[in-house]
Amino acid sequence: MEWIDNLSRAIGYIELHLKEKLDYEEAAKICCCSLSKFQQIFLLSTGVTLSEYVRYRRMTIAAHELIKTDIKIIDLAFMFDYDSPEAFTRAYQSFHGVPPSVTRKTRIFDEYDRIVFQIQIYGGRSKMGSNKILRIETERLIIRKFVPEDWKDLQEIAISKEQSPFACCDHTWPTDEAGIKDAVEYFSKEHQFWAVEVKDLKKVVCLINFNYMDDEQTLDIGHVMNLEYLGNDYDYEALKVLYNYGFIQLGAERIQANWALNDKDKLAPLLKLGMKVTRTGMIDKFKPDANGKVSQFEGCQLIITKNEWLTNPAK
């Protein structure tokens, strides 16, 4: 876990220098890599860009300075390396939703905590249900727990799945209102299920499930996409964040997925992430045909290791 220690030390350096002009090159040296590589590793490890993290942390510290001291806005602006008080105020209001003057009067502000890496291992197996699920945001997506209000979106995902040519390659999902509401209630209580919401649409378009982690630290991840939204890379973007979470936060040594070899649409984001087909074989379908006969489909297993993920990160 040396690279985690290096990244933690680099974050420590950043934290110590938030109130002055930051030397990003020095932070990269502490992480034992180039600046471009450091920026890439930082994004993959945290879900935010390096510049976003610095801005969020500075805005958090600025709020505390406003409340606890009588510091002037112009001094805050120069402390946090802004060219003018106006530029600082715009950045502050963008983050907190209110200008600095309001925070000082009302103590209203948002907070972004320092990032700390923690991997919890229990007897050689990561306990999937014990890690509190996170809300992770990208530029386009919110990746979060399910809530009861998601039932209509989940129903659309279920109907899309059941109408797919590959529906027989998985267990049958309920599509009725009562069945879907029961499912979303269950998903909302379990930590391994993730809802992928598109910000612009305010709609959940994908479900991602951390199925299990075995004794060899292989994390099995599955996903089901609303096929109406294929081609937008929503599944790829969400899986990239959660693969990184699996490797960094859960300590997985490899991630695997299993599905129908001929379902090119579902395999596309997995291959784009750098996964490789390691095994194929004939598998019984989950549903019999009209004559009651159970036929087979060609399934495959895809795997990517932690070393592959870190040395050739997905773009």
Q: Per residue of the chain (315 residues), what is the pLDDT tens digit? A: 566 778 888 999 999 999 999 999 999 999 998 998 888 888 877 778 899 999 999 999 999 999 999 999 999 999 998 989 999 999 999 888 889 999 998 888 888 888 876 544 333 333 444 445 567 888 899 999 899 999 999 999 999 999 999 999 998 899 999 999 999 999 988 778 999 999 999 999 999 999 888 888 899 999 999 999 999 999 999 999 899 888 877 888 999 999 999 999 999 999 999 999 999 999 999 888 778 888 999 999 999 999 899 887 776
d(CA 83, CA 270): 43
Q: Cβ–Cβ contacts within 10 Å for residue 147, how many?
A: 13
pTM of the model: 0.61
What domains can be seen in the chain, in order of their start residue? 2-106 (1.10.10.60), 136-311 (3.40.630.30)
Per-residue model confidence (pLDDT) at position 128: 43
d(CA 17, CA 286): 57
> Crossing angle, helix 50-68 and helix 2-16, to 10 degrees?
40
Give the tokens for residue 160.
């899309």
d(CA 167, CA 70): 63
Per-residue model confidence (pLDDT) at position 118: 53
Output the DSSP codes for 236-257. HHHHHHHHHHHHHTS--SEEEE
Report the number of secondary-structure helices (H) and strands (E) in the chain: 12, 8
